[in-house]
Amino acid sequence: MEIQKLENKKILVTGGAGFIGSNLCDKLIELKNQVVCLDNFATGKRENLTQLMDNGNFTLIEGDIRDIEDCKKAAEGVDYVLHQAALGSVPRSIKDPITSNNTNVNGFLNMLVASRDAGIKRFVYAASSSTYGDSESLPKIEDKIGRPLSPYAITKYVNELYADVFSKTYGIETIGLRYFNVFGRRQDPNGAYAAVIPKFVKLLMKGESPTINGDGTYSRDFTYIDNVIQANLLCLIVTDQKALNTVYNVAYGERNTLNDLMEYLKEYLSEFDASIKNVSANYGPNRQGDIPHSLASIDKAKELLHYNPRFSLQSGLKEAIKWYWENL
């Protein structure tokens, strides 16, 4: 399918000031679409949108998905929704399950209702690999999940249930994308809930030792941002009815341990500063709610969406590190 054909559409990106959302906004504008961004800047950043603010095809609505009126205002006249707004992080949800639930469940339902009422045809949303919970089977296949291991995982599974009910009851087309450990440009290295890759990059650039949770043998299917953008755009142009009203894994389909990750980061960063090669990791306790191993089957997305991820962990890291070196 030809992504370049996606043009002259009006597309709402919720959480459009965030890491994934702002990258989606950039690409959609590049493809000559009108983009509406809804964000409350709880975790999104204004500087992620600086390059778009003077573009006549871009509209920023500062609002909150927990407010139905904000959702309705943002959804007005829109063709498609890319719903990225959420409070991420397993540890955050364990510390404060109520706020995570209010944002990720109530906010999600508000956006579904606003989309239904606005007559929006297709609603594509960020689901999560955390939905696999305690399932030990590898690779992870979409129709085999376990029990959730955190409040965050519960909220993302509830999203899938609501989307399914709305597609069956109201006829709105929905597609959920279960993201696996997304990383890349603009991912925030700061704060208590920063993702592992930007956090490690920032520490290594300062010559400081990152702390790996556990012994470093936990593994993840790390997924570069451009693979995620590709999957979202494919969801907007797919016409096969079999591809709709379902969920897909969005990943590269390969797993690497945290120890592997550390070695890659040191190797690629040492091209900018040779002393980084000598920095070693510290090891701490395993993190509550973490699953030991994560690996996605991407067969379903390849077959029905024609998803073809271009960036492995290694090639994605090289791109991301270049960006962090220039921007941190």
Beta pairing partners, 200: none
Task: Assign residue 41 a region (left: φ > 0; alpha: ψ between -120 and 50; beta: otherwise).
Answer: left
What are the CA-CA distances from residue 283 to residues 12, 68, 222, 287 (Å)? Answer: 42, 44, 20, 11
Pair of tokens at residue 42: 């709880």
Quote the Cα angle for 69-92-315, to 5°.
95
DSSP string, 43-109: S--GGGGGGGTT-TTEEEEE--TTSHHHHHHHHTT-SEEEE------HHHHHH-HHHHHIIIIIHHH
CA separation for the pair 64, 103 (Å, rounded): 9
Q: How many CB atoms lie within 10 A of CB 136?
A: 9
DSSP label at residue 8: S
| Catalytically annotated residues | 152
d(CA 197, CA 184): 8
